[in-house]
Amino acid sequence: MLPAGRRSAASRVVAHVVLFGWHGLVIIVYLALLDRQSSMRESWGNAPKEDMMIFGFQVGVPMLLGSLLVGLVLLRRLMAGNRINSAVVLGTVAAAPVLLCVAVLAGQA
């Protein structure tokens, strides 16, 4: 067990890569869902694909950036302690804000 604040550089890099990987996965899934939406207009309103793009820019991007900042702060705080030894678990725990946002949005759909 390493003393507090004495994690190796490789461990820190792996934790950050896992955190960014979770955020990247959310972006990839959103783009895949966006690709499956119809771009045909049914009436005078926007097409479903356009509505999803507007939602992504107005809500998704700020939410993703905010959760990334919260995740980076959380990761720094978790690395200062020595309760969690695995870098993969640290990165996943730090990605909890974005995973929670995705779960809330998926529950509303």
Residue 91 CA to residue 2 CA, distance in Å, equals 18
Residue numbers of the domain that contains 93:
9-108
Asked if residue 81 has pLDDT above 90, the reply is: no
pLDDT tens sequence across 28-76: 999 998 888 877 777 777 888 888 899 999 999 999 999 999 999 999 9
Does residue 70 sit within a domain? yes
Taking CB atoms within 8 Å and a gap of at least 24, the contacts of 75-79 are: 75/15, 75/16, 75/19, 79/5, 79/7, 79/12, 79/15
pTM of the predicted structure, to 2 decimals: 0.83
User: Are the beta carbons of 53 and 34 closer than 8 angstroms?
Assistant: yes
The answer to whether residue 4 is domain-embedded is no
| pLDDT (tens digit per residue) in 86-105 | 999 999 999 999 999 999 98
Residue pair 61/39 in contact (Cβ under 8 Å)? The answer is: no
Q: How confident is the model at residue 5 (pLDDT cuts 50, 70, 90)?
A: low
Count structural domains, the chain.
1
Rounded to whole angstroms, the Cα distance separating 91 from 16 reads 6
